[in-house]
Structure 1
Amino acid sequence: MEIYHIQNVSFTFPMQEKKALEGINLTIQGGEFITIGGKSGSGKSTLLRQVKPILSPHGKREGTLTYRGRPIEDVDQRTQASDIGFVLQNPDNGIVTDKVWHELAFGLESLGLDQQTIRLRVAEMASFFGIQTWFHKSVTELSGGQKQLLNLASIMAMHPSVLLLDEPTSQLDPIAAADFIETLRKINQELGTTIILTEHRLEEVLPVSDRFIVMDEGRVIVDGTPREAGEALWCMGHPMFTAMPSSMQIYAGVTKDTPFPVTVKEGRQWLDRYLEDKSNVREEVTLNSQTLNNTNQLPALRFKDVWFKYEKNGVNIIKDLSFEVAEGQLYCLVGGNGTGKTTALSLAGGLYHPYRGKVLIGGKNILSMQAKELFTNNIAYLPQNPQHLFVKKTVEQDLYEILSRSSMSKEEKARKITAMAEFLELEPLFAMHPYDLSGGEQQRAALAKVLLLEPRILLLDEPTKGLDSFFKAKLASYLKQLNANGVTILMVSHDIEFCAKYGDVCALFFNGSITTSGAAKPFFAGNHFYTTAANRMVRHVWREGVTVEDVIALCKNTR
């Protein structure tokens, strides 16, 4: 049965000449699992919000959009609320109550259902999603993965026919993200719910998708099965191919035959066939191990026996944490949601202070440093939520605001901002309100504000969240350029592939402290679950194959 029919739909934001969507033609059948991908700002989220009008941004829409054969404008708000569920990118933005059980019941209460029906549905959803063990908890006690699962469960309690999700895994660690996608697959397969989601992290979601729609500059350029879409992007030479699953990228880098593998399993089966007649397959390659610290100088940043808790009688969030970050190093903290990574980053930035132990900047205790000394050309911090940095009505004004206390002339500020905006592709967004930007565009605007400070130590919390693969590579080159100029970078990230490819040192955070650390590639090669998809695909042959580029080189070196 046809759920949505989108015919020649275009959309333009107020005071914008360029259309955010142009000539979109799609038909979506009941029970389909559809993933929408594309570069940041390509129109993914704008399209997703068109199919639930009460969430559509203000602007002018043209064309025809129907839901179950009715014009979308004629669908009343109650039907939209109950039939069309929407899960937001930030888990905190979707939660409206203080307790887990009340969050599950809130939507049903808003629909005016009777108490017996509410109790039944809440019990069903708690069982289906495995929420029983934290059913009575406060939502503030939940991890990011649990919050997103709660958002999903509270929407599914209303029995929607369609589930819309806007980059739902962007703030989840790799294991939580995989679990979340598996839950979506279960909902789609067992309940028949139509699922439409936008996503940059395609490794886990494409294997469970029926269709992959790729957008570029507000238009649909590819629409087909994940395998067909990957092959089409490869033939087009489109940069979006670098976002496709690792197995597909490795296959395309080694051979030009079809069909492309989509999953790790298919990639491993192809690799075994490819290596059948090769004689030097098992030759081990020694992984390069970077020196973790330069013993001839003080580390730029050092944690020494640090303990921290938010409340006097609360639990310890950071427990006996000790590590060092050398000058000019890109140090990556990875680990599950709720393990203390962001808290550690806040301690490094002086936002919180330990009750025991020391945080040292260039050998000096952060507690003895004045705010001016700490933040003037010394430390800059990018928070997990980029909106925390926006204080003005336009992107351009926000960029000038960060330099308001600088002694530079107006012309120097203009040159500096223009150069940064050109690098981060922000110039077309100058006149827009920061809150009107897409998630990826907000991330770039926040990065611009932080980088304009030219700090000696850069603290980044999920800097690649919402960024497309093309821009990630561009950002990495800039960060490595900063490293070469002596800038030290401490980064918290769930982006395993980015850390493995560009990090100098990686550390696994668990239960308030670092469990293990090491040079990036040996670190991930030694992990079984917390590693890249490329490594999971080839570790039975080459344990040292960590990145897509590593595996392609190893394949080509076989005889």
Structure 2
Amino acid sequence: MIRFDNVSVVYDGAPAPALSGVDLAVPEGELALLVGPSGVGKSTLLGAVSGLVPHFTGGTLRGRVTVGGRDTRDHPPRELADLVGTVGQDPLSHFVTDTVEDELAYGMESLGLPADTMRRRVEETLDLLGLADLRDRPIASLSGGQQQRVAIGSVLTPHPRVLVLDEPTSALDPAAAEEVLAVLQRLVHDLGTTILLAEHRLERVIQYADQVIVLPTPAATPLTGTPPEMMAISPVYPPVVSLGRLAGWTPLPLSVRDARRQASPLREQLAGVTLDETPTTLWAGVPHGGTGGHSGPQPSTPDAPRAKAGIRHALFRRKQTPPPAGGHPAELTNVTVRRNRTEALRNLTLKIAPGETIALMGRNGAGKSTLLRTLTGLHTPTTGTVRVGGEPPKDTPPKTLLRRTGLVPQDPRDLLYADTVAAECAAADKDAGAPRGTARALVTTLLPDITDDTHPRDLSEGQRLALALAVILTAKPALILLDEPTRGLDYAAKHRLATVLKQLAAEGHAIVLATHDVELAAELAHRVVILAEGEVVADGPMAEVVVSSPAFAPQVTKILGTGPWLTVPQIRRALEAAA
């Protein structure tokens, strides 16, 4: 169904090809998973299938890409619309109407389908993706995850024979991601739809793939094979595979269920090891393979982060600096926020302590982004009080607020306005009053391969996020707010991000990250706050909250079942200590 014959793509002005000598085939009715580190050309490969590359993106495509027998060189995207449905990393760029129901119908209207067919398919898709309650909602009022589901639904209604999806679950909570992946499975198995999917959160999707295509480095020859074959050699792999490699399991497990069947000997090895006996050994993080071998969390109570100061000092081998003066960096008291006649937050009370890392979790639309934006003064509470650095954020001068709080939103382009990476970094240094080169060093730490003269719009989603993170982190605000900070980042990039954030927490900065990435939360957070319908339904130490939650537990916890184990690096250190 999809075939690449010696395909290379070179963008104008680029120092090297984005793709080089690609030969691969995806048979009809299979789900092919495309994996690789950030910036290796996955989005370019997907764009070549839909015709966006080079008809829309520019550049030069050599070789031949055929989809259903149509050569994409001779058929621009509009002539492939009945055959190929595409959802990119940014769902907002796909929307052409204002409401959910209209957006689901738009693609079918463009193809001239009968009205009764359109109505039936819209209803089917609303039910498939759990969007029925949102059918009349303006798209602009939806959360990022809800918008992602609408974007997927808009390409499902025309019933294309091929689906091309770029990180389709990156903005979805665990339950919604499972629902979307179940829909994709039904399309493959029941309708024979061919799906080519790129995803960094391999723990969610690897077990569903029929074949895996690995792009190990930029412009490298792709490697293709079955999921077990590719996970044995891939530079990126999920925690379940990392644990299998560590334990020497054969065959390598791809799902929690497969791993549990082989885990009994490992449980016995870990039975006599406890975390609190040697905290600096067990919590300290070291680079490890493709999963980013950084440390697990340090459970602590919200109002007593100093109780773990000794552990943090040992972790980072650096002096623990005093936290910012003025008590808690942020406090919300009985806060209610109404948006579009909906109570996005309801009577919410929360204190954020210096040096504390909080994972803010919950289903899409629970109010996580609203809470972060309220802390920056972008939303004004209907009732209650918000204080950041002891003052309401809306009454704080911008330069002062920059030192007190920094928000990286879901769409990093909101923060980027310069023409080059170097110009963005220079502006960040100037705004923060930081030494020259501070922001550029952060970008290099997060993603080493970004060049100075690259335009931000030419970066991948993960690279843009790394640049936006560097812009905000340069000022080292007392309160750092991150909204889905790992979208588009591979495991190694997430490790580097976690290292930077841990260093900032060790210096006394408070960090709140709204995330659906349970693996990142397990490795980084001291405390978890779970929201539902704008209310706090759980608030406590990381290990206690996630172990009791099937939806938010990391893979290691699900596999081992008992004990305080959350991450693979913990297991590695524990085995070393036991030996």
Same fold by TM-score, threshold 0.5 exceeded? yes
Q: Answer whether contact 1:329 1:489 (CA < 8 A) is retained.
A: yes
Q: Answer whether contact 2:301 2:540 (CA < 8 A) is retained.
A: no
The one-letter amino acid paired with 1:265 is R
Q: Name the CA distance, whole Å, in 1 between partners of 2:554 and 2:41.
A: 29
Q: Once the 2 structures are TM-superposed, how far is the Cα of residue 64 of structure 1 from its aligned partner?
A: 2.4
The one-letter amino acid paired with 1:527 is S
Q: Answer whether contact 1:340 1:512 (CA < 8 A) is retained.
A: yes
Higher mean alpha-carbon deviation, 489-498 vs 365-374, is at 365-374
Q: For residues 294 and 557 of structure 1, do their structure 2 counterparts lie closer, same or farther at Cα, with a shift above 3 Å needed?
A: closer
Higher mean alpha-carbon deviation, 476-485 vs 513-522, is at 513-522
Alignment-derived partner of residue 382 in structure 1: 408
Q: Say if 2:460 is the partner of 1:438.
A: yes
Q: Once the 2 structures are TM-superposed, how far is the Cα of residue 450 of structure 1 from its aligned partner?
A: 0.9
Q: Answer whether contact 1:203 1:245 (CA < 8 A) is retained.
A: yes
The one-letter amino acid paired with 1:293 is D
Q: Secondary structure at the match of 1:6?
A: strand
512, 518, 542: which is aligned to 1:490?
512
Residue segments in structure 1 that go unaligned for 5+ positions in a row: none
> In the TM superposition, what whole-angstrom CA distance separates every residue of 1:292-326 from its partner, at most 9, and x where no partner exists?
22399722221122111135xx2321111112111
Aligned pairs (5 A) from 1:467-546: 467-539=489-561, 542-546=562-566
Alignment-derived partner of residue 213 in structure 2: 213
233, 254, 266: which is aligned to 1:262?
254
Aligned pairs (5 A) from 1:196-235: 196-215=196-215, 216-233=217-234
Q: Answer whether contact 2:129 2:180 (CA < 8 A) is retained.
A: no
Q: Once the 2 structures are TM-superposed, how far is the Cα of residue 131 of structure 1 from its aligned partner?
A: 4.8
Alignment-derived partner of residue 326 in structure 1: 353
Alignment-derived partner of residue 355 in structure 1: 382
Q: For residues 179 and 406 of structure 1, do their structure 2 counterparts lie closer, same or farther at Cα, with a shift above 3 Å needed?
A: closer
Q: Name the CA distance, whole Å, in 2 between partners of 1:147 and 1:421.
A: 29
TM-score, structure 1 as length reference? 0.89
The one-letter amino acid paired with 2:567 is T
The one-letter amino acid paired with 1:158 is P
Aligned pairs (5 A) from 1:149-160: 149-160=149-160
Q: Say if 2:482 is the partner of 1:460.
A: yes
Higher mean alpha-carbon deviation, 281-290 vs 113-122, is at 281-290
391, 394, 402: which is aligned to 2:420?
394
Aligned pairs (5 A) from 1:64-463: 64-75=64-75, 77-126=77-126, 128-129=128-129, 131-140=131-140, 142-215=142-215, 216-233=217-234, 238=235, 240=236, 244-255=237-248, 257-272=249-264, 274=265, 278=268, 285=274, 289-294=299-304, 298-311=327-340, 314-375=341-402, 377-405=403-431, 412-413=435-436, 415-425=437-447, 428-463=450-485
Alignment-derived partner of residue 16 in structure 1: 14
Higher mean alpha-carbon deviation, 525-534 vs 40-49, is at 525-534
Q: Name the CA distance, whole Å, in 2 between partners of 1:332 and 1:429.
A: 32
Q: Answer whether contact 1:310 1:317 (CA < 8 A) is retained.
A: yes
Higher mean alpha-carbon deviation, 130-139 vs 164-173, is at 130-139
Q: Name the CA distance, whole Å, in 2 between partners of 1:34 and 1:405.
A: 45
Q: Answer whether contact 2:333 2:384 (CA < 8 A) is retained.
A: yes
Residue segments in structure 2 that go unaligned for 5+ positions in a row: 277-297, 307-325
Q: For residues 129 and 455 of structure 1, do their structure 2 counterparts lie closer, same or farther at Cα, with a shift above 3 Å needed?
A: closer
The one-letter amino acid paired with 2:371 is A
Q: For residues 81 and 143 of structure 1, do their structure 2 counterparts lie closer, same or farther at Cα, with a shift above 3 Å needed?
A: same
The one-letter amino acid paired with 1:303 is L
> In the TM superposition, what whole-angstrom CA distance separates every residue of 1:110-166 from its partner, at most 9, and x where no partner exists?
122343443444345445556555444444555544433332233222221110001
The one-letter amino acid paired with 1:299 is H
The one-letter amino acid paired with 2:566 is V
Q: Name the CA distance, whole Å, in 1 between partners of 2:449 and 2:164.
A: 30
Q: Name the CA distance, whole Å, in 2 between partners of 1:76 and 1:447.
A: 36
Count of matched residue positions in the alignment of Structure 1 and Structure 2? 536
Q: Answer whether contact 1:304 1:358 (CA < 8 A) is retained.
A: yes
Q: Name the CA distance, whole Å, in 1 between partners of 2:74 and 2:21.
A: 22
Q: Name the CA distance, whole Å, in 1 between partners of 2:301 and 2:90.
A: 37
Q: Name the CA distance, whole Å, in 2 between partners of 1:404 and 1:52.
A: 41
Q: Once the 2 structures are TM-superposed, how far is the Cα of residue 337 of structure 1 from its aligned partner?
A: 0.9
> In the TM superposition, what whole-angstrom CA distance separates every residue of 1:346-366 from its partner, at most 9, and x where no partner exists?
111122221322222233343
The one-letter amino acid paired with 1:16 is A
Q: Secondary structure at the match of 1:316?
A: strand
Q: Name the CA distance, whole Å, in 2 between partners of 1:120 and 1:516.
A: 40
Aligned pairs (5 A) from 1:1-40: 3-40=1-38
Q: Once the 2 structures are TM-superposed, how far is the Cα of residue 282 of structure 1 from its aligned partner?
A: 6.0
The one-letter amino acid paired with 1:305 is N
Q: For residues 298 and 189 of structure 1, do their structure 2 counterparts lie closer, same or farther at Cα, with a shift above 3 Å needed?
A: same
Higher mean alpha-carbon deviation, 109-118 vs 511-520, is at 109-118
Q: Name the CA distance, whole Å, in 1 between partners of 2:449 and 2:153.
A: 40
> In the TM superposition, what whole-angstrom CA distance separates every residue of 1:403-422 from its partner, at most 9, and x where no partner exists?
445667xxx42x33442333
Q: Once the 2 structures are TM-superposed, how far is the Cα of residue 69 of structure 1 from its aligned partner?
A: 3.8
Q: Name the CA distance, whole Å, in 1 between partners of 2:241 and 2:386.
A: 44
> In the TM superposition, what whole-angstrom CA distance separates every residue of 1:262-283 from its partner, at most 9, and x where no partner exists?
11111111114x369x5x8766
Q: Name the CA distance, whole Å, in 2 between partners of 1:338 and 1:99.
A: 16
Q: Answer whether contact 1:90 1:171 (CA < 8 A) is retained.
A: no
Q: Answer whether contact 2:50 2:77 (CA < 8 A) is retained.
A: no
Q: Answer whether contact 1:37 1:199 (CA < 8 A) is retained.
A: yes
> In the TM superposition, what whole-angstrom CA distance separates every residue of 1:36-74 from its partner, at most 9, and x where no partner exists?
011110110011101111354211122222233443222
Alignment-derived partner of residue 289 in structure 2: none
Over aligned residue pairs, what C-alpha RMSD do you find? 2.6
Q: Name the CA distance, whole Å, in 1 between partners of 2:460 and 2:349.
A: 37
